[in-house]
Amino acid sequence: MTRENLDKLLKIILIVGVFTLPVWMRSPTYLQILILLFFYAYLTTAWNLVGGFAGVLPLGHSAYVGIGAYTSTVLFMAFGLSPWIGMFVGGIVSAIVGTIIGIPTLKLRGAYFALATMAFGEGVRVLVENTDKIGPLLVNGPRGICIPLHNSFAQFQFMSKVPYYYIILIMLCIVLFVTWYISKIRIGYYLAGGGEEPEAAQALGVNVAKYKVIAMALSCFLTGLAGTFYAQLMLYFYPKQILGLDFSFEIAFIALIGGRGTIAGPVIGALLLRPVSDFSRIYLSDIAPGLHLVIYGLILILVMLYMPRGLVDPLSRGYNWVLDKFSGKTEVEGVKA
């Protein structure tokens, strides 16, 4: 078997395995764990559009998750608008807010942009925690919102975990395709050039600020969609949970450790690091709340020291070694190639 055919076969096996997994995995608990893994993989991939390709470090993306969740939920509870529609309304609102915030802040360099996004995210959390109602829209302050259970497709609610599994899996596939497509067209090259060498890109006539704002808007739109999914999955959320800075940090840490600016890096980071976070919360939260972020920080330091491109780099080399080993490719053939 040639290397190319083996590569295709392994990818087909992976895709078939992921899409048929609920057929033989009946446990709602395990499905819920996988749903949250895919949810974080989706979020970090959406973050990667601006945090990876554009070369900046946004640390307030939980604000856009919260905007998406609150927008669709309050519209559903106040006017009966289907969350399927509210999801896109929340995404558009997130994109508009992201654009408004991005136009001035994306001109900042280094830590200043990160600090500005942190301040915005924390400001949104404080605002929501101190707001009970906006006209007929119930926000409910720090108590959060509990969504009534209806078990209806039109209202984005299901008694089984299987529909949620396939919804987030399809969303993840879409955001991965969007990321891959952008990396192959002009805007992807402009973002990469503007992120690494903005002065050189501007000297060549690239409007760096314009393309960074476009990436920010798209990233925020996709992140807002995830907010609605999370709200309908959990049926209860509150500001500290969905708008907290620790949520933003976790999204960024996963992408940075997995491989910032790559297609597979955020997914690899989510699949490997989310279990670490869950186990630390389960077994160590009583001893030291927030310890999972400390563990992320230590892992991030080690990765930056020994694997600057993230975990995706050694895993890619390992995958290529497997392809070479089992495709019968010899060392001499590899040199000739």
Residue 267 resides in a domain: yes
Is the pLDDT assigned to residue 168 strictly greater than 90? yes
Give residue 335's pLDDT.
39
Q: What is the pLDDT of residues 9-35, one digit of tens each?
A: 888 999 999 999 998 888 888 899 899
Q: What is the mean pLDDT of the chain?
A: 88
Which residues does residue 27 pair with via DSSP β-bridges, in sequence order? none
73 is a domain residue: yes
Q: pTM for the full model?
A: 0.91
Q: How confident is the model at residue 286 (pLDDT cuts 50, 70, 90)?
A: low
Burial class (CB in 10 A: 0-12, 13-18, 19+), 259: buried
Name the most confidently modeled range: 48-57, 274-283, 320-329: 48-57
Q: What are phi and psi of 21, to 5 degrees?
A: -55, -40
Residue 333 pLDDT greater than 80, yes or no:
no
pLDDT in tens, 74-125: 999 989 999 999 999 999 999 999 999 999 998 887 788 999 999 999 999 9
- Note whether residue 334 is domain-resident: no
- Encode the chain in three state secondary structure: CCHHHHHHHHHHHHHHHHHHHHHHCCCHHHHHHHHHHHHHHHHHHHHHHHHCCCCCCCCCCHHHHHHHHHHHHHHHHHHCCCHHHHHHHHHHHHHHHHHHHHHHHCCCCCHHHHHHHHHHHHHHHHHHHCCCEECCEECCHHHCEECCCCCCHHHCCCCCCHHHHHHHHHHHHHHHHHHHHHHHCHHHHHHHHHHHCHHHHHHCCCCHHHHHHHHHHHHHHHHHHHHHHHHHHHCEECHHHHHCHHHHHHHHHHHHHHHCCCCCHHHHHHHHHHHHHHHHHHHHCCCCCCHHHHHHHHHHHHHHHHCCCCCHHHHHHHHHHHHHHHCCCCHHHHHHC
**Residue 336 within any structural domain of the chain:** no
- The reply to whether 89 falls in a domain is yes
Domain extent for 53: 3-328
Per-residue pLDDT, 326: 81
The total of structural domains in the chain comes to 1
Q: Give a yes or no: residue 333 inside a domain.
A: no
Q: What does the pLDDT average to over 202-220?
A: 87
Residue 228 counted as domain residue: yes
For residue 17, the Cα-to-chain-centroid distance in whole angstroms is 22
Do the domain assignments include residue 337? no
Assigned token pair, 292: 């999972």
- In the predicted structure, residue 211 carries a pLDDT above the cut 50: yes
